[in-house]
Structure 1
Amino acid sequence: MAQPIKNMRYYLKDEVVCHNKKNDIWVIIHTNVFDLTEMLKDRMDHWNRNLDYLVAHAGKDLTHFFHENGEPRTEISPNTGKPRVLFPPILEVAISEFSKTKGAMWSQDPFYHIGRVTTRPRVIRIINTLTGRTQIMTVCNEDSIYDIQQKYKQRYNHHAGSYEWRKFSNGGKTCSILDLNGTLDENGLIDEEDSTVELPPPSIWLYYTDDITIA
C-alpha cells in the first residue's frame, strides 16, 4: 500500500497532557501547540525559578496568559506601578542560536510551534479482519487516514501498513479502499450526529495483504 508523507499537525488535548516533564514539555496557547523541550534542554546550565514555573505548567493550556497573537498579557504591579507579564517564563529564551528565532518570544516562535489542537475529537472503530479484534480510537477530525494509520501502528499494531484500509457503504454492499490522503469526512466516514438513536462510530476495516515489507 502506498504511504503518502504527511506531518501530523493536529493533536488531542489528551496527547498534549502527556508531555508534562522537564525533558518533554508541550503547552497550548490559543489552540496552538508548542514543544519547548529544546529550549529547556538548552537552558539546563542556566536554570532559574522561571523555568521551574514553566515546568509546573507543562502539558497545560496557557491561553489565559496570552493574547491571540502570542503576546503575553500584562498587569500593573501594585508595588512599582509598572506593567509586568502575567506569565514570567515568557521572558526566558534559548541560549544557542540554533534553538530560537532571533527577536521572537517562544510563544510566537515557529521553531517551537508544532501544530494545533483539534477542533473536534472523533471516535472511530478499527476492525482487524485477520485477528477479529476491534479497537476504539479517538482521533483528530483533521487527521488523514494515513495519520490515523500511523497512530494505530504506534499504539496497537506495528504492521498496520501491511493491511488495506477499507470501508463499507451502501448498506454494507460496497467495500472500497480508503484514500490515505483524505480525512474521515473526505472518505465518507461521517458521524450520524442528527440521528434519533445512538449509532456506533464509523468503522474502518483492515484486510491483511500478506506483505510485511510495508509495515
Structure 2
Amino acid sequence: MAKYFTPSEVSCHNTLDDLWVSFLGEVCDLTPLMKQFKGDVLLMPIAECAGKDISHWFDPETKDIRTHIDPVTGCRKYYTPRGRFVHVPPSCPRTDWANDFGYPWWKDPQYVVGLLTAKTRWIRIINTLTKQEKRLEVCSEETLQEILQRYLRCNSNASTYTWKHDGVPLDMGKTLSQNGLVDDDEDLHRLRMDPELYTPGILLYYNYHLPYDP
C-alpha cells in the first residue's frame, strides 16, 4: 500500500541535500535530481519551493506543466513564471540542450515516495497505564495499524496494548472513520467551535501476560 504523508512531514525536507515537494497528490523526493544537476541555475525554482506543494505548476488534466501562448512567437510553451527549471526546454531552439533524459522529473516514477493526504486529522492517544497523553497528527487515509507505526516513536511497546475508543476495541486494519471516529471538523468550524477542544481520544490498555502455571 502507498504510504501517505502530511504536509508538515513534506515541509521538513526543505534543503538542497534533502528536498521533497508534493504536487497533484503525490510526494516526490527530488534529492537525487538536485545532486545530478548540482550547481545548475535551473535548479533555483525547485530549490525555492523545497518542502512545499507545487500543484499550481501543473495542469491537473494533462499532469504536465501548465502552458501558455507566447505573445512574441505565438507558440504554445510551458508557463514557468518563477523561471525555467530542469527538463523544461529553452524558449528558442538551441544545440546545447540535451533532451535525451527520458521522462522529465515530474513524470518519472522513480522520484515518487508516496501520496499526500487529502486531509490530516488530530487525535489524542492516552496510555491508561502511564497516564501519558500524546497529540498526534495523522492522515485520514491511514489505518490504525499505520497510525500505530507513527506512535511507536513515542512508545516502542505500543503494539502490546489494546486500542479502544468509547470502550470498544478498534479494528487496527481500518481507518479512524471506519472505526466510528467521525471527522466533524467542518461541523465544528460551522458552529465556530475550536476543533482542538474536541480532539477524539484513543485509550491504550496494556495487555498483561500472567506467568504460566501448569
TM-score tier, shorter chain, comes to: 0.7 to 0.9
TM-score, normalised with respect to structure 2: 0.74
Task: Name which one, 1 or 2, has greater alpha-carbon Rg.
Answer: 2
Q: How many residues align?
A: 187
Question: 2: CA distance between counterparts of 1:76 and 1:91?
Answer: 19
Tell me if structure 1 keeps the 8 A contact 2:2–2:115.
Answer: no
- Aligned pair 1:165/2:145, yes or no? no
Change over 3 Å in CA distance of 1:40–1:192 after alignment to 2: closer
TM-score, normalised with respect to structure 1: 0.74
1:132 Cα deviation after fit: 0.5
Change over 3 Å in CA distance of 1:66–1:205 after alignment to 2: same
The equivalences for 1:51-62 within 5 A come to 51-62=43-54
Question: 1: CA distance between counterparts of 2:176 and 2:10?
Answer: 22
- Aligned pair 1:19/2:18, yes or no? no
Q: Which residue of 1 aligns with 2:68?
A: 75
Tell me if structure 2 keeps the 8 A contact 1:29–1:70.
Answer: no
Q: Which residue of 2 aligns with 1:190?
A: 182
Change over 3 Å in CA distance of 1:86–1:161 after alignment to 2: same
Question: 2: CA distance between counterparts of 1:85 and 1:192?
Answer: 41
Tell me if structure 2 keeps the 8 A contact 1:54–1:89.
Answer: yes
- Aligned pair 1:89/2:89, yes or no? no
Question: 1: CA distance between counterparts of 2:69 and 2:40?
Answer: 23
Unpaired stretches in structure 1, ≥5 consecutive residues: 1-5, 93-101, 169-174
Secondary structure of the corresponding residue to residue 91 of structure 1 = coil
Q: Among the aligned pairs, what percent are the same residue?
A: 36
Unpaired stretches in structure 2, ≥5 consecutive residues: 89-100, 210-214
